[in-house]
Chain A
Amino acid sequence: MRVVVDYDLCESNALCMAAAPEVFEVRDDDFLYVLQDEPSEDLRDKVEEAARRCPKQAITIEG
């Protein structure tokens, strides 16, 4: 699976970080950093939860 963030949409609400801290981190500069572009399958539930909880629908999952 590949995680794609549309940074034009992302507003750093940081809900993705709460859902999947292994993959998403919003730092104190208020920017989102994707820690793993291709997380392992065992993180799929968490990454899908992050995509669902994103208020901007900025996260898509490919594959």
Chain B
Amino acid sequence: MGLDNIVIVGASLAGLRAAEELRTLGHAGRITLVGDEPHRPYDRPPLSKQVLAGMKPPESTALMVAGGSIDDLDLDWRLGESATGLDLGARSVLLAGGEQLPYDGLVIATGASPKRLPGTDHLDGVHTLRTLDDCAAIRSALVASPGRVAVVGAGFIGAEVAATCRGLGIAVSMIEALPVPLERGLGPAMGAVVADLHRDHGVDVRLGVGVVLIEGGDRVEQIRLTDGTVLDVDLVVIGIGVGPNTDWLEGSGLTIDNGVLCDATCAAAPGVVAAGDVARWPNHRFGEVMRVEHWDNAIAMGTHAARTLVAGPAAAEPYEPVPWFWSDQYDRKIQLAGRAGPDDTVAVVSGSTDDRRFVAFYGRAGRLVGVLGMSQPAKVMRWRSLVEQATTWDAALAAAAQEAEA
């Protein structure tokens, strides 16, 4: 079947990179890019850092295309429109306005949305951070010099917002139900290092406590914690994770299970691929069905999904990346190549956690699965190849020790 007409639902990083790859592969037909936000594709990482801090204007986040202009992609833009349904049999996407968009090939890249705390929607001053508009709202609240900001959830968004607030001289309380920040992402030992980093920068770090109630009249005034503490706050940023945007696919016949379930090549159904935060797939490299919410995965998976769509099922190749992310907090750069979980073995192989300049390896079942660095980008990227090569734990430790001696 020909692929004259391709629809991409989701106009952020994964969708844009899919479109770019389709053109690179020589697709000359129509590409329709549907996005529920009014903006052209933009880069989200600066929204918790430079743009939130006022160091860069929101316009600076516009995503570029390597070696040319985004207009060169000749896309049929449908911005400010959301998809509400998918008819696999008829090969058609339903838009909120009632329009049907027929397709020969479909890329699902609808991303994820922040989870909210129940019972807080009526209060001004309680925010989540995902979009440019979210960032602008928090930015204007920060400019008004709040007495104290509460960050609920010490994942990457919460930790970066806390660091940005401290950079602006604003008092911050970081509230996390787990014993350390970033525990799900980095495990307890490395999470403790991050907790100390925030304490040293004057963050009021409150771990192992939950939120009972966020109170106020029209605006947020207080936050009540499970240990009985009541904090006076002017602004609350909720960073308790995201959920994949799959509501519009309910009943479509696609398998929805914590994301759109794909095969190893990113295909979800005949003529349908998925990529980025919304997609879950078996990554054979790690023997794990994963959904990865990282910036770099949106690029790599968007690109791969486009290749799968063009190649067709017989020629499509499995998507087997070593995931990678970074997070900038204060003057430190945290990077992880591979996987890291609470139950993995952890060993610091270079530098020291006291200096906050180190590399740690994560091991699982006798094999190196992750390389974590704090302000050690060159080593992380060099040792990422050990993860790619499925190096045993002992051989990985030996390789790191050998380089340290050299």
Contact = CB atoms under 8 A, between A and B. Distances in A.
A28 interface: yes
Contacts of B63: 57
A30 B377 contact: yes
Contacts of A61: 66-67
A8 to B, nearest CB: 11
Contact of A14 (B17, B66, B377): B377
A63 to B, nearest CB: 9
Given A26-B381, A28-B379, A30-B378, A13 B67 contact: no
A27 B377 CA distance: 9
Interface in B365-379: 375, 377-379
Interface in B238-297: 295-296
Contact of A57 (B43, B380, B384): B43
A34 interface: no
Contact of B324 (A12, A15, A27): A15
B64 interface: yes
A61 B122 CA distance: 49
Contact of B299 (A26, A30, A53): A53
Nearest to B67: A61
Contacts of B296: 15, 53, 55
A17 B64 CA distance: 20
A47 to B, nearest CB: 8
Contacts of A35: none
Contacts of B303: 52
A26 B43 contact: no
Nearest to A52: B66
A49 B303 CA distance: 10
B67 A51 contact: yes
Contact of A30 (B17, B20, B66, B375): B375
B12 interface: no
A54 B316 CA distance: 26
B: contact size bracket: 20 to 34
Contacts, number: 51
B333 interface: yes
B326 A13 contact: yes
A28 B378 contact: yes
A55 B295 contact: yes
A49 B375 CA distance: 24
B328 interface: yes
A52 B295 CA distance: 11
Nearest to B24: A48
A43 interface: no
Given A48-B66, A48-B67, A55 B378 contact: no
Interface of B: 17, 20, 43, 45, 63-64, 66-67, 295-296, 299-300, 303, 324, 326, 328, 333, 335, 375, 377-381, 384
Interface of A: 11-15, 17-18, 26-28, 30, 48-49, 51-53, 55, 57, 61
Given A14-B381, A49-B66, A61-B67, 15 more contacts: A12-B377, A13-B377, A14-B377, A15-B296, A15-B324, A18-B381, A18-B384, A26-B377, A30-B377, A30-B378, A52-B66, A52-B303, A55-B45, A55-B296, A57-B43
29 contacts: A11-B333, A12-B333, A12-B378, A13-B333, A13-B377, A14-B377, A14-B378, A14-B380, A15-B296, A15-B324, A17-B378, A17-B381, A18-B381, A18-B384, A28-B378, A30-B375, A30-B378, A48-B67, A51-B66, A52-B66, A52-B299, A53-B299, A53-B300, A55-B45, A55-B295, A55-B326, A57-B43, A61-B66, A61-B67
